[in-house]
């Protein structure tokens, strides 16, 4: 890995971050007259902890990392944007992404006027490490991988990921939004071996909390410090911090829901592969299935007519003819199956 100082944009490296009232005072006090807050409406009158230490402590316990290895943001989308802004000089530098994959890497790059180089997955939606490394040059600051990948659903080949981690001298982001549905272990356990690795996770999927917007980035503390430097001071609000703590206190609930989703994923995959459907269903390690239905756009519209919304991936690279179907409850999945029968 290049020196962190040589990877971070010079203006960010030299930046003196905004120091908020809640940053400057630590310790016990009974009268807070430092942040121009309203003295009433406790506790919502007070600015929240800008570094979210209580929540990070809990996440640290769950994930087996130290709290200073964690960045929390307004969804993982915030971390994606901050990473591009921290590392890539607009108009000059670039990121490399796999395709098809999650669209926000490219959008965040576009917003920041950073070139986004797409490298196709192999025919079986796997990672071609050599092609990804070849797409990178001296101006490539980050490679974005997504495993399990959206919209294909599969885990990327682990050895190919290691190859990229070992041979790329910039930042390697592994987006693990769907990791709780996967049979493969998280790369969070590998952070100690790879100083250039950043792992993204979220409360939006397995934890069932997309509405509260909490994304997590795990990396070496020096790398996390760069994100902290440029984030909005109070980027995670109090309601989110409190609700997240409550949810993370009940891992049993999350595990039960994941188990149910996995059972439904297998049931739905089997049924969709068989007559009367006989669709090609791609293997999934996520909470959705990519299904080749043939006339995807027509099927999408026919399903909408029946009140069932799936994701039409007809126009996505390598996904022609495909719908991406999120695994719902058993009842919801049965409604989908019946609607699909009527659409045939
Ligand atoms: N990464 C991937 C691969 C996703 O599919 C999504 C959401 N669809 C996200 C990140 C965004 O997650 P969040 O809700 O945490 O912003």
What integer pLDDT is reported at residue 344 of this predicted model?
Answer: 66
Q: How far is the CA of 78 from the centre of ligand 1 (A)?
A: 10
CB-based contacts of 94, cutoff 8 Å, min separation 6: 88, 109, 114, 115, 116, 117, 137, 139, 140, 141
Instruction: Compute the average pLDDT of residues 55-65.
Output: 98
- Please tell me if the CB atom of residue 150 comes closer than 6 angstroms to any atom of ligand 1: yes
Across residues 98-116, what is the average pLDDT? 98
Q: Is 177 in the pocket of ligand 1 (CB under 6 A)?
A: yes
Percent of the chain with pLDDT over 70: 100
- Cα 96 from Cα 136, distance rounded (Å): 7
User: Between 21 and 133, where is the model more confident?
Assistant: 133
Give residue 25's pLDDT: 84
Verify whether ligand 1 is closer than 6 Å to residue 176 (CB atom): no
- pLDDT in the model for residue 55: 98
Quick one: 239 exposed, middle or buried, by C-beta within 10 A (0-12, 13-18, 19+)? exposed
Query: 336: CA distance to ligand 1 center in Å?
Result: 23
Instruction: Compute, in angstroms, the gap from residue 20 CA to the centroid of ligand 1.
Output: 29
Q: Which residue has the tokens 């409850």?
A: 329
pLDDT at 21: 86
Cα-to-centroid distance, 102 and ligand 1 (Å): 8
Say what percent of the chain tops pLDDT 90.
Answer: 96
As given in the structure block, the two tokens for residue 231 are 């984030």
Q: Is 93 in the pocket of ligand 1 (CB under 6 A)?
A: no
Reply yes or no on whether the pLDDT at 250 is more than 80: yes
State the pLDDT at residue 27: 84
The tens digit of pLDDT for each residue in 151-186 reads 999 999 999 999 999 999 999 999 999 999 999 999
Q: Are the C-beta atoms of residues 167 and 194 closer than 8 Å to each other?
A: no
Asked if residue 215 has its Cβ within 6 Å of ligand 1, the reply is: yes
Q: Which residues pair with 118 in a beta bridge?
A: 97
* pLDDT tens digits, one per residue of 183-238: 999 999 999 999 999 999 999 999 999 999 999 999 999 999 999 999 999 999 99
Q: How far apart are CA 127 and CA 129, in angstroms?
A: 6
Per-residue pLDDT, 322: 98
Q: Is ligand 1 within 6 A of the CB of residue 81?
A: no
pTM of the entire predicted model: 0.97
Instruction: Return the ligand 1 atom nearest residue 102 CA.
Output: 3
Q: Which residue CA neighbors atom 1 of ligand 1 most closely?
A: 177
The Cα 292–Cα 323 span in angstroms is: 6
**Candidate of 71, 72, 74, 76 to mutate for ligand 1, largest count of ligand atoms within 8 Å of Cβ:** 76
Choosing from 204, 287, 326 the residue with most ligand 1 atoms within 8 A of its CB, the one to mutate for a pocket test is: 204
Indicate the average pLDDT of the chain.
Answer: 97
What are the pLDDT digits (tens) for 17-51?
998 888 888 788 999 999 999 999 999 999 999 99
Pocket test for ligand 1, best of 59, 99, 102 (most atoms within 8 A of CB): 102
User: Does the beta carbon of 204 sit less than 6 angstroms from any atom of ligand 1?
Assistant: yes
CB of 146 shorter than 6 A to ligand 1: yes
CB 128 within 8 Å of CB 104: no
- Are 125 and 318 spatial neighbours (Cβ–Cβ below 8 Å)? yes
Residue 94's closest CA among 57, 129, 142, 162? 142
Q: What is the mean pLDDT of residues 248-277?
A: 98
- Token output for 341: 């029968």
Q: Which residue puts its alpha carbon closest to atom 2 of ligand 1?
A: 177
Number of H helices, E strands in the chain: 13, 11
Structure tokens at 323: 């719908």
Helices 251-273 and 238-248 pack at an angle, to 10 degrees, of 80
pLDDT of 343 > 90? The answer is no
Q: Is the pLDDT of residue 86 over 80?
A: yes
* Token couple for 229: 């430097």
């Amino acid at each position: 890995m290049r020196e962190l100082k040589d990877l971070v944009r010079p203006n960010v490296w030299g930046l003196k971050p905004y120091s908020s009232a809640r940053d400057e005072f630590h310790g016990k006090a009974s009268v807070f007259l430092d942040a121009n807050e309203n003295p009433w409406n406790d506790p919502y009158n007070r600015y929240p902890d800008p570094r979210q230490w209580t929540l990070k402590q809990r996440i640290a316990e769950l994930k087996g990392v130290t709290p200073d290895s964690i960045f929390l943001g307004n969804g993982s989308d915030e971390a994606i944007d901050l990473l591009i802004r921290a590392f890539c000089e607009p108009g000059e530098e670039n990121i490399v992404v796999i395709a098809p994959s999650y669209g926000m890497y490219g959008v965040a790059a576009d917003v920041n006027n950073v070139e986004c180089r797409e490298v196709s997955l192999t025919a079986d939606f796997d990672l071609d490490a050599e092609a990804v490394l070849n797409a990178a040059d001296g101006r490539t600051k980050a490679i974005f991988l997504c495993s399990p990948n959206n919209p294909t659903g599969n885990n990327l080949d682990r050895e190919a990921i290691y190859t990229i981690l070992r041979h790329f001298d910039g930042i390697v982001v592994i987006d693990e939004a769907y990791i709780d549905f996967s049979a493969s272990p998280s790369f969070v356990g590998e952070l100690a071996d790879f100083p250039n690795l950043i792992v993204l996770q979220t409360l939006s999927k397995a934890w069932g909390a997309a509405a509260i917007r909490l994304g997590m980035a795990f990396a070496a503390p020096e790398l996390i410090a760069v994100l902290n430097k440029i984030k909005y001071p109070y980027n995670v609000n109090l309601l989110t911090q409190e609700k997240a703590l409550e949810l993370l206190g009940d891992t049993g609930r999350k595990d039960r829901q994941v188990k149910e989703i996995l059972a439904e994923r297998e049931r739905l995959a089997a049924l969709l592969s068989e007559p009367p459907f006989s669709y090609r269903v791609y293997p999934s390690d996520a909470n959705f299935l990519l299904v080749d239905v043939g006339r995807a756009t027509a099927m999408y519209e026919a399903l909408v007519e029946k009140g069932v919304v799936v994701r039409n991936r007809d126009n996505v690279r390598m996904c022609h003819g495909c719908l991406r179907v999120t695994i719902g409850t058993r009842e919801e999945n049965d409604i989908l199956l019946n609607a699909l029968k009527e659409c045939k």
